[in-house]
Amino acid sequence: MAPITINRHNIFQWLKFGLLEIGRVIRALFTRSGGRVTAVTRFVEEHAECGNPDSVLDAIDTFSYEQRFLMNVGDEKGEILLRHLKEAKAANVLELGAYCGYSAVLMGKELASKGGRLVSIEASDHNTQMARRVVARAGLSKTVEFQVGKASERIDQLEGPFDLVFIDHWKDDYLSDLMRLQDNGLLRPGSRIVADNVGIFSKALEPYLSYVRESEEFHSIHYPTRMEYNDSIDDGVEVSIWRPSPDEIAA
């Protein structure tokens, strides 16, 4: 994972966050609750109502605020993702990085109401198993398809085009995987690329951000936000709309 961006403006916030998480990790060791993805999956299955996506999301948010930090998109940034999903009238969506299944439930709920589908690619087999359980609890297994493997190895096998792509996996792969999507004809004019964590990983994501902001093929919008489940650390979401030239479409 690429290093977070720390500077004199946020170092004390990161120190405070780190100390809090160390205490939570120690507590988790004593209670033998397991890793955080396993723990949140169990929490969802114990507290969320079956077949109710909102109940599942609420359970994950509660776990993240009260027990252990989770690096999913979260409630604040999730609203931005959902807004663009609706504005794009997306029916065919790709997710790069499933983690615990939060964003899959968030988008899957909207897609299920329109007969759409979500393909979610996750490199970790364990995370995929847990995300499947979370999505099943929400009643969205028929809407969300999980694929295990690195996105760089899976993109060539996908069928598009995708109306929206949500990128929230390895930061070093944001740019290369976006370019793979373009090269494989998996975007359509107007496709939206929603990239998470462009604030806390701003240094690592400089090549990606330069590409989508300077390319004539993209119209890019930056949304300053807070990091998920934290009120003091700045983060951001970048939404880029693909607007290729007629020559590129013909090719």
* Residues catalogued as catalytic: 168, 171, 196-197, 228
Distance CA 219, CA 248 (A): 16
Distance CA 43, CA 100 (A): 12
Instruction: Please give the distance of CA 162 from its chain centroid, rounded to a whole number.
Output: 16
Distance CA 251, CA 245 (A): 10
Distance CA 68, CA 53 (A): 21
- Give which of 122, 53, 56, 116 is closest to 86, Cα–Cα: 116
